[in-house]
Amino acid sequence: MTDHEKKMYEELARISKALAHASRLYIIHKLDEQEYCVKELTELIGADISTVSKHLTILKNAGIIIDEKRGNCVYYQLQCRCVLSMFSCLTDVIDSNKNKINTILN
């Protein structure tokens, strides 16, 4: 593996790590619908504001979302919508695994 390849795969791993949490995946899904402020996301997720803020920071540092301060609120939106294509791919993997399990059990 070249140095360039190593750096690229390390960056892919870092971004994948940012996605590796159910609440962060939910946030991405919700931000596909519309932009939200921290308070709204906190209510949707049902977690405290510090936890949601931490999730948002991780997603922002990975370059997946961006924020914009308006008055007393910070609004978040997706920066890279292409990350949503991962959802359908992962759902296909889940379905494929279910089919394999059903075949083995039958």
Query: 60 lies in which domain range?
Result: 3-80
Q: In 3-state terms, what secondary structure has residue 72?
A: coil
Is residue 96 in a domain? no
Q: Quick check: pTM over 0.85?
A: no
Residue 87 lies in a domain: no
Q: Read off the CATH number of the domain in which 20 is found.
A: 1.10.10.10
Quickly state the pLDDT bin for 89 (edges 50, 70, 90). confident
CA–CA dist 30, 90 (Å, integer): 17
Residue 55 inside a domain? The answer is yes
For the cut 70, the answer to whether the pLDDT of residue 102 exceeds it is: no
pLDDT, position 32: 93
- The C-alpha angle 13, 76, 87, rounded to 5 degrees, equals 45
Question: Number of structural domains, the chain?
Answer: 1
Mean pLDDT of the 70-86 span = 88
Could you give the percent of the chain with pLDDT greater than 90?
58
Give, as one character, the DSSP assignment of residue 80. -
Residue 56 lies in a domain: yes
Residue 92 lies in a domain: no
In this predicted model, what pLDDT tens digit does every residue of 11-40 receive, in sequence order? 888 988 998 999 999 999 999 999 999 999
